[in-house]
Amino acid sequence: QMRTTRKVSVWPVGLVGGRRYERPIVENGKVVGWYTGWRADRPFAIDMAGFAVSLQVILSHPKAVFKRRGSQPGMQESDFLKQITTVEELEPKANNCTKVLVWHTRTEKVNLANEPKYHLDTVNIEV
């Protein structure tokens, strides 16, 4: 699905942020918010595994950088994406962000500390 990215595409990520998944919330084919366990107020409340950027966008924004240092914790993705796109321009993938095709995994026990006690999302996603 990344191959069809025109500018910046997004999708859900499983096992991230202390939840089973986090995802962009999509209405009528547009991202309108974020289902996340941490700071949903971020401009792009998304994990690095949850987006792709076309090479044309990178080349047309030569000063855009992904800061290893200088961003607040958890803000690196937002700080980068703000330089190249807007939320309105995001391209939802994975069946309008209702399917997990990518997992954020490590060689450690999964942390689900931020998983809500009751299902709060408007869709039921299998992880």
- 19 and 110 Cβ atoms separated by less than 8 Å: no
Phi/psi for 13 (5° steps) reads -130, 130
Q: What is the tens place of the pLDDT at every residue in 44-101?
A: 999 999 999 999 999 999 999 988 787 887 899 999 999 999 999 999 999 999 999 9
Q: What confidence score (pLDDT) does residue 70 get?
A: 79
For the chain, give the mean pLDDT. Answer: 91
Angle, vertex CA 39, rays to CA 44 and CA 19, nearest 5:
95
Domain 1-126 has CATH 3.90.550.10: yes
Give CA torsion, residues 71, 77, 80, 85, to 10 deg: -140
Give residues with Cβ within 8 angstroms of 52, minimum separation 6. 2, 5, 8, 9
* All structural domains of the chain with their residue ranges: 1-126
Residues noted as catalytic: 77
